[in-house]
Amino acid sequence: MKRYQFHLSYNGTNFCGWQKQPNANTVQTEIENAIFKIYSETEIPVVGCGRTDTGVHAKHYVLHVDLPHVEDLQKLKFKLNRILPKSISIQEIIETSSEFHARFDATQRTYRYFISSEKDPFQIDTVVHFPSSLNLQVMNEAAQLLVGKQDFTSFSKLHTDVNNNICEVFAANWVENGKGSIYFEISANRFLRNMVRAIVGTLLDVGTGKLKKEDLISILNQKDRGAASLSVPAHGLFLWEIKY
């Protein structure tokens, strides 16, 4: 057996997230089913770089899988892409070290969240329409307060199974994307469940004036999910890049 990295992207609209679950359509299920068809109906598990929630997309997702030696990686990619639905596309398959772990070896994850003040009929599933006017400068100042090693309990879904809620945020910025469209990009060593969507909801409240940028500090200090604003919808969120 050899270990391979798959680099892929998926549109999360019709999936209950990445992770395999009984009676639910997930990205992991689709990929394992496609491998099952190609490898003479042998069940081969894949290990993803992380979970994504229902409706969240991935521009760049990495998994690892152990397979019998593959002669032609291009051909395997082509065959899998033919079996997989249109909403999942494998961009590249590469051989990797037998030690490589898609989840534990990731050193940096980057998410982007897209919103637009204009209706865009061609991005219904990937951009959130937000017609209120926003103070981008103050949103960016508030975002800087998130950078560093901090406890993100206030931005985490309750009752998750992680031991601690410390994350190191490397960068957090709002970027103008042309024609009333902006995105929020955040990079960290790890993310808690629902964290980006709770952060974006809170920063939008700063942008409309409901909150002051200094409120971010008190929200972080309270270590209570009730302190932050509501989460924004899933469909504007992309797992954008994974670094190892």
Q: Which residue, 10 or 183, is less far from a second copy as judged by CB?
A: 10
User: In whole angstroms, how close is the CB of 44 to a second copy at the nearest point?
Assistant: 22
The correct pick among 32, 95, 120, 151 for binding a second copy (CB under 8 A) is: 120
Q: Are 28 and 38 in contact (CB under 8 A)?
A: no
> Which amino acid would we find at residue 44?
I
Calculate the alpha carbon distances from 140 to 57, 154, 183, 212 in Å.
24, 19, 11, 12
Taking CB under 8 A as the binding criterion, the range among 63-71, 78-86, 92-100, 167-175 that sits at the site for a second copy is 78-86
Q: Are 6 and 46 in contact (CB under 8 A)?
A: yes
The correct pick among 41, 43, 86, 161 for binding a second copy (CB under 8 A) is: 86
Binding to a second copy (CB under 8 A) within 123-162 occurs at 124-126, 129, 131
Q: Are 36 and 44 in contact (CB under 8 A)?
A: yes
Concerning whether 53 is annotated as a catalytic residue, the answer is yes
> Mapping DSSP to helix (H, G, I), strand (E, B) and coil, where does residue 100 land?
coil
Of the candidates 49, 64, 50, the one whose C-alpha atom is nearest the C-alpha of residue 98 is 64
Taking CB under 8 A as the binding criterion, the range among 64-72, 84-92, 103-111, 132-140 that sits at the site for a second copy is 84-92
Which residues neighbour 74 within 8 Å (Cβ) at sequence distance 6 or greater?
A: none
Applying CB under 8 A, does 173 fall inside the site for a second copy?
no
- Binding residues (CB under 8 A) for a second copy: these are 9-11, 57, 78, 81, 84, 86-89, 91, 118-122, 124-126, 129, 131
Q: Which residues are catalytic?
A: 53
